[in-house]
Amino acid sequence: MTTTPIPLEDRIIFALDVADPREAMALVDRLAGRISFFKVGLQLFFAGGWPVVEYIVGKGCKVMLDLKLYDIPATVRLAVRQFADRGITFTTVHGYGPVVEAALEADTGIGILAVTVLTSFGAEQVAELQYQGTVDDLVLQRAETVLRLGCHGVVCSAREAGLLRLRLGQDFTMVTPGIRPTGSSLDDQQRVATPGSAIADGADYLVIGRPIRDAVDADACIKAIQREIAAALA
């Protein structure tokens, strides 16, 4: 894991996967007392743009801008430069070497995270890419490539977290989506894990959305997840 201590309230990155900016801001208001890190993805960014990011930052919270950029290097570099001075902590790009290099060249001070393999991918989808190895092989290959280029961290399924820590060490940030507390629906995810197992395997941050958003008692759900995280860290 990263050497800088991560506060417990930062460990959960709440996924603001909603279409209405007003709903997103209401969720921030509702959860900011317990969670201080929020993910803004494509759907919400296209709906609300920079005002949503500014609202989150204005509440004293952190932002992961999850747009998964993938384009020619010059375009990626110029795009990431637009993120400067916006209070963004992390942004994501696809784990393709030239794209990662371009994002790093933008030199904005924002943590660049490379997406290895989407958590909705399974063996069937990887086979469609005509890749001869397993999902684990592909994740490891992409992570090795981007970290060698100086990428600050990776986004991967918690299922691969232990493998990456074992093979690639501690000196990078690992963010894991596809986190499902025990008993939660898998929704459209295939490679999932519980909060405790993800942290125990080396994840630094857990992206969690629907299980908290749809909980009857969101506050109790967050407390339970944070207790599980704390136990795994101990």
223 catalytic per annotation? no
Q: What is the 3-state secondary structure (H, E, C) of the chain?
A: CCCCCCCHHHHEEEECCCCCHHHHHHHHHHHCCCCCEEEEEHHHHHHHCHHHHHHHHHCCCEEEEEEEECCCHHHHHHHHHCCCCCCCCEEEEECCHHHHHHHHHCCCCCEEEEECCCCCCCHHHHHHCCCCCCHHHHHHHHHHHHHHCCCCEEECCHHHHHHHHHHHCCCCEEEECCECCCCCCCCCCCCCECHHHHHHCCCCEEEECHHHHCCCCHHHHHHHHHHHHHHHHC
**How many Å apart are CA 141 and CA 164, to the nearest integer?**
10
- Which one of the listed residues 39, 62, 68, 223 is annotated catalytic? 68
Question: Structure tokens of 207?
Answer: 């992206």
User: Which residues are known to be catalytic?
Assistant: 68
